[in-house]
Amino acid sequence: MQIFYNFVLCLNFHFLQSDKFNLESDSFVYFDTSVLPNDVVIKRGSRNSRYLKPKVEGNGTLMASLSYHRGDPEIVEVLKVCQEVIVCNKVSIHIREKNLSFETISLPWAPQIHQELKLTAMGGCAKGLKDYSWFSSNQLVVSVSTSGIIRANYPGRAVVKVCSIFDITNSAEVVVDVSIPLSMVMMSYFPVETIVGAHLLAAVTLNAPNGNYYHKCNSFNSSVSWSVLKGQGCFKVANTTDLLPFEFPMNAELSDTIYHPCAWTYVDTSCPAQAMLHAVFSSEKHSLDHQLKEQIILHASTPIATYTPLFVKQVSSGNQFGGYWVDLVKAHQIGAHDSYLENLGELYLVLGTSIDINLFGGPERWDEGVEFIDTVKIYGEENHFLSEEIIIKHASEKDGNLYTVLCQAIGNYKLVFSRGNLIGKGHPQKAVENLELTLLCSLPSFITLISIEHANTLDAIQSSNHDVRGPGNVHNSFISVANGQTIRVSAVGIHNSGRPFANSSSMYLDWDLTGCDHLSHWDENANVANSVTSWERFLSLHNESGMCIVRATVAGFSHSNVFISEKERLFFESKVSNLTDALKLQLISSLAIIPESVVLVPEAKVNMSVTGGTCFLEAVVNDTSIVEILHHPGTTPCSWLSLGSRGVGSALLTIYDNGLSPSPAVTAKASTKAKKSQISCQGLVI
């Protein structure tokens, strides 16, 4: 006997009133038995009926026993009967072996495209696929395989039925509608903009004539063509034949929604741009298809975009403000593909100073219907949101967003920039880029001096930092410099981590010269014309040789700084009162070659004197087929060199002094003639 789960069976047993009836089972885990209510007993006319209610699927045994007397009242005879009971779940039809069942299933059809869908049967005490039988009411419209795969053969309607082979009455059926798609739309679950180098996933689905989506339509994938309009070559559509089968990312919100992709593609991105992604499905008219009166052409499109990562650059230089030098021309150039790799990660500012930064990259505004965010938040050391310690002034520029960051309180801060588009019409996924910039507002732990260099480059600052200092914080090594010129001397504030500050100009310096009375003096005209702070000075060197010491000392905070109170000023000045640094300058006379011009006969030699400069000399001739250097000035002794003639013609001799920075150079002309002639000496120094 087979019964269905969630189905109640009434069993009726007939015997005499004096007989004793008992119903037993060893399988009550599968079903329960119960006595009928009195009203049912009276109605049915039998008090020995029982309800049998299945609980779970399985096999069990039901045993009924009847005790009675026949003749002798002391002799009891027992009559027993056993019945196997099989509890089976009701057969049901599902899609993709998930708990998704439908009364009607929709499938698309087009000439030469026959969509298939796997149906799964459950229940009926089946052990596998062979325990079900499948049927279609119209094989011309929908055919079904023995494993439950239905195939759309032609537009129309059919009923697909499945039953258990153990009980043909235990069955289920579903209506299948096959139709020609009416329209194609882009699926709205995928991002439409992404970062450069990533790819965009795009998919389309089809609408049935009744406006519903199809339960499956992936057979149309190879018949849909994709293209990108505009985009400046920044987008490339992947070859659909190379794509793996698409698995739609079902999530909790979509678990009860049938919204399947019919065609899909990946779009690779290589540079920031905006474009339009276009999908087209077309099917030729078939002469035998009377329902297909014209060619099927369906279109779908969506705007797409790609953007560079969010990055920030410093766009003001601290070269004259006790900070490091920034190439402002390069800082404003963002045309290079890898310009965002120069992102500024940390920024060091002395209390009371400011710096300009520019924010580049990130998503551009989508349209008026999508909310665009462009914000910056400031957090303190314990991740508390702040608004007063750091002031940020914002101004939009053509190629980015300009911010002026002003440090008003000592501490470590985190600036979080956010830029992008939220979810809105035509923009189904949020695209927001975030960037963190660490800001350290502090006081210098020491300062370092730089001379000769035209700019406070990071290499020059690092080199000066690594110099060994002696008593009075004077650099042990000296810097050789040619006399008779004006040189730049500057100072840079250094954080206790060893990193230079971007701006130290809220503090002012005192400058001193030691042992320089006859060697140099401050060029006040150049200082007034070129220096805007006390962190940069210009020193005029006399035509003398000797050692000169240049010193800079932090004297305090500028009184024009309105962000520091008088009490804070006195406290902070006590912290930096001993910050000083000194350089030794070795002034050297200018390099010269005597004579400046010589004339040689073949196979002749000539000695030339080298005066001034250092002994770190390098001599070269531009044509070794005319003359050659027999004795280099860089060897001992370094006060002369020797030339020898090799051919007829003229050559240029150049001597570089590598002991000075920048390296000066002097030149002399050497000529050879076929006949012996006098050597002419002009003695000019270049």
- Give pLDDT tens digits for 207-264: 999 989 999 999 999 899 999 988 778 999 987 655 555 554 544 344 344 568 899 9
Structure token digits, residue 150: 């239905």
Between the alpha carbon of residue 374 and those of residues 213, 384, 554, the distances in Å are 38, 20, 40
pLDDT category, 679, cuts 50, 70, 90? very low
Do 300 and 320 lie in one domain? The reply is: no
Which of 215, 341, 205 shows the shortest CA–CA distance to 281? 205
Q: What local confidence, expressed as pLDDT, does residue 400 receive? A: 61
Q: How far apart are CA 243 and CA 224, in angstroms?
A: 13
pLDDT category, 521, cuts 50, 70, 90? very high
Asked, for residue 75, whether it belongs to a domain, the answer is yes
Do 43 and 164 lie in one domain? The reply is: no
Looking at the predicted structure, is the pLDDT value of residue 57 above 50?
A: yes
Do 451 and 427 lie in one domain? The reply is: no
Q: What local confidence, expressed as pLDDT, does residue 54 receive? A: 73
Q: How far apart are CA 354 and CA 406, in angstroms?
A: 4
Region for residue 38 given its phi and psi (left: phi exceeds 0; alpha: psi -120 to 50; beta: otherwise): alpha
Asked, for residue 528, whether it belongs to a domain, the answer is yes
Asked, for residue 402, whether it belongs to a domain, the answer is yes
Average pLDDT over residues 358-362: 90
Between the alpha carbon of residue 49 and those of residues 17, 20, 45, 308, 639, the distances in Å are 13, 13, 9, 80, 132
Do 486 and 535 lie in one domain? The reply is: yes
Q: What local confidence, expressed as pLDDT, does residue 258 receive? A: 52
Under 8 Å between Cβ of 362 and 454 = no
Buried b (16+ CB within 10 A) or exposed e, 152-175: bbebbebebbbbbeebeebbbebe
Asked, for residue 685, whether it belongs to a domain, the answer is no
pLDDT category, 189, cuts 50, 70, 90? confident
Q: What is the CATH number of the domain that holds 624?
A: 2.60.40.10
Q: What is the CATH number of the domain that holds 523?
A: 2.60.40.3440
- What sections of 363-479 are H helices per DSSP? 458-466
Asked, for residue 686, whether it belongs to a domain, the answer is no
Looking at the predicted structure, is the pLDDT value of residue 340 above 50?
A: no
Looking at the predicted structure, is the pLDDT value of residue 684 above 60?
A: no
Q: What local confidence, expressed as pLDDT, does residue 253 receive? A: 40
Q: What local confidence, expressed as pLDDT, does residue 194 receive? A: 95
Q: What is the CATH number of the domain that holds 230?
A: 2.60.40
Do 84 and 98 lie in one domain? The reply is: no
Q: What local confidence, expressed as pLDDT, does residue 88 receive? A: 82
Do 69 and 6 lie in one domain? The reply is: yes
Do 319 and 429 lie in one domain? The reply is: yes
Looking at the predicted structure, is the pLDDT value of residue 12 above 50?
A: no
Do 234 and 175 lie in one domain? The reply is: no
> Does 418 or 249 have the greater pLDDT score?
418
Looking at the predicted structure, is the pLDDT value of residue 101 above 70?
A: no
Average pLDDT over residues 416-438: 93
Boundary (domain end) residue, out of 531, 557, 588: 588
Q: What local confidence, expressed as pLDDT, does residue 520 receive? A: 92
DSSP 427: B
Asked, for residue 678, whether it belongs to a domain, the answer is no
Q: How far apart are CA 275 and CA 259, in angstroms?
A: 26
Q: Is 149 helix (H, G, I), strand (E, B) or coil?
A: strand
280: exposed, middle or buried (Cβ count in 10 Å: 0-12, 13-18, 19+): middle
Asked, for residue 107, whether it belongs to a domain, the answer is yes
Q: What local confidence, expressed as pLDDT, does residue 245 receive? A: 56
Asked, for residue 412, whether it belongs to a domain, the answer is yes
Q: Residue 417: what residue type?
A: F
Range of the structural domain that residue 458 is part of: 446-588
Q: What local confidence, expressed as pLDDT, does residue 604 receive? A: 87
> Does 598 or 33 have the greater pLDDT score?
598
Do 25 and 142 lie in one domain? The reply is: no
Do 612 and 655 lie in one domain? The reply is: yes
Question: What's the total number of domains in the chain?
Answer: 6
Boundary (domain end) residue, out of 388, 419, 442: 442
> Does 235 or 284 have the greater pLDDT score?
235
Which of 119, 121, 142 shows the shortest CA–CA distance to 131? 121
Among the residue ranges 177-191, 382-396, 506-520, the one predicted with the least confidence is 382-396
Looking at the predicted structure, is the pLDDT value of residue 75 above 50?
A: yes
Do 217 and 134 lie in one domain? The reply is: no
Do 302 and 352 lie in one domain? The reply is: no
Average pLDDT over residues 161-175: 90
The overall average pLDDT reported for the chain is 82
HEC string of 281-348?
A: EEECCCCCCCCCCCCEEEEEEEEEEEECCCEEEECCCCCCCCCCCCCHHHHCCCCCCCHHHHCCCEEE
Q: Is 530 helix (H, G, I), strand (E, B) or coil?
A: helix
Boundary (domain end) residue, out of 565, 588, 611: 588
